[in-house]
Amino acid sequence: MNAIKQKDLILYSGLIILGLAAPFLFSAFKVQLTYLCVLIVLAMTWNLQGGEMGYNSFGNILFYGLGMYLTASVQVGMFFPLAEWTESGGEKTFVHTTAQYFQGISVGLLVAAIVPTLVAGAIGYAILGLRGHYFAICTLGLGIAAGEIAGGIEIIGAGQGFTTPPFPAEIVDPEARGQFFYFLSFLVLVLAFVFVKYIYGSRFRLILNAIRDNEDKAEAMGIQTMKYKIVGWMCSAFFCGLAGGIMGGLIGYIDSTDVAFDGREMGVFMVLMAILGGKGTLWGPVIGATLFHFFKEGLWTFILGWQYVALGVLIVVIVVYFPEGLMGWLREKYPDRFGEVIDEKDRKAQVEIK
């Protein structure tokens, strides 16, 4: 037991050191790495309720987009009239000082974490009463509706889009912006990982799994499933909001349907990444997101124009042939290496019963 823990310690400290050193080692890839961190956070927290709870949501993008708009609105609204910032194509120019920028973004991120969590709590009771594919389609509708509606609201820029405050001009170093956002996203990644890891060792996860495997029985056992489902969704929403806030600042321009409530890309990517790596595992989404990002950035640009065909084929192949994902496949192939022999048999037996 101790030996494993020591190995874990080496692994984690190694990864953290790598993470901290990364922006200096690969200076040119800083922004790519920031994207990677955000993608991992999204995949990991999607997995919490998609993989562990069995509620496959296409709607986590709702919290992501909400976080993005909130961060930007708070960052602007704290110091300037928001309506004037967004109205008439930005005819007036406001400039944040360095202190204002950072104050704004920290408060903004705080709001971006809290509000989506509350929203998830508020709509959770209604939405989480749906099961299976109805839940999936309903959340898909929710995400797209949010984008369309946001595109009609004047104060956040409507169809004009929302230009987030530019990084303070007083910081001359062109690398500073990339580093700031990288470390911010890395921090969130570490937070999310620690949190998810904690959940994996807790009773909460078992309850979520019980809901996934058979909700009616779980309820019959006396578990208040609705309560746990809502809490599970709120956990996802918290991190999605944060991730959205960071992305908004990094991209610098928020468009309602293409950047914020980007259900057709981000919303599906997070599901895909989690499935690619393996639903219902701790490392699965991390590996899935990493592979996905490398694949996308590596191959994408060499198949100019054909990338969406490749993506579509990839989705079909993954979903049809590897629904268990990479970790699931590894686990099936080498069950002993996961040290879960007994669980494994049990799992297989269950699969057969199904």
Residues in 304-343 that interact with another protein by CB under 8 A: 304-309, 311-316, 319-320, 323, 330, 337-339
Measured from the CB atom, the residue of 161 and 285 that comes closer to another protein is 161
Q: Which of residues 214-243 bind another protein (CB under 8 A)?
A: none
**Side-chain half-sphere exposure of 195, counting CA atoms within 13 A:** 16
Closest CB 85 distance from another protein, rounded Å: 10
Q: Could you tell me the sign of the dihedral formed by the alpha carbons of 1, 282, 243, 298, in that order?
A: positive
Residue type, 26: F
Name which of 78, 63, 77, 164 is nearest 115 in CA terms. 63
Measured from the CB atom, the residue of 242 and 271 that comes closer to another protein is 271
Closest CB 342 distance from another protein, rounded Å: 15
* Tokens encoding 150: 């946001």
Measured from the CB atom, the residue of 106 and 160 that comes closer to another protein is 160
Measured from the CB atom, the residue of 234 and 250 that comes closer to another protein is 250
- Cβ atoms of 136 and 58 closer than 8 Å: yes
Q: Which of residues 187-216 bind another protein (CB under 8 A)?
A: none
- Cβ atoms of 256 and 150 closer than 8 Å: yes
> Given candidates 120, 189, 272, 276, which one binds another protein under the rule CB under 8 A?
272
Measured from the CB atom, the residue of 205 and 212 that comes closer to another protein is 212
Residue count of the chain = 354
Closest CB 134 distance from another protein, rounded Å: 5
**Residue 262 in the binding site for another protein (CB under 8 A):** yes
Distance CA 118, CA 2 (A): 40
Residue type, 111: V
In which residue are the tokens 């009773």 written?
Answer: 203
**Residue 28 in the binding site for another protein (CB under 8 A):** yes
**Residue 177 in the binding site for another protein (CB under 8 A):** yes
Distance CA 300, CA 65 (A): 25
Name which of 352, 325, 345, 310 is nearest 50 in CA terms. 325
Closest CB 132 distance from another protein, rounded Å: 6
Measured from the CB atom, the residue of 114 and 139 that comes closer to another protein is 139
Binding mask 129-168 for another protein (x = CB under 8 A): xxxxxx-xxx-xxx-xx-xxx-xx-----xxxx-x--xx-
**Residue 47 in the binding site for another protein (CB under 8 A):** no
Q: Could you tell me the sign of the dihedral formed by the alpha carbons of 211, 214, 217, 219, in that order?
A: positive
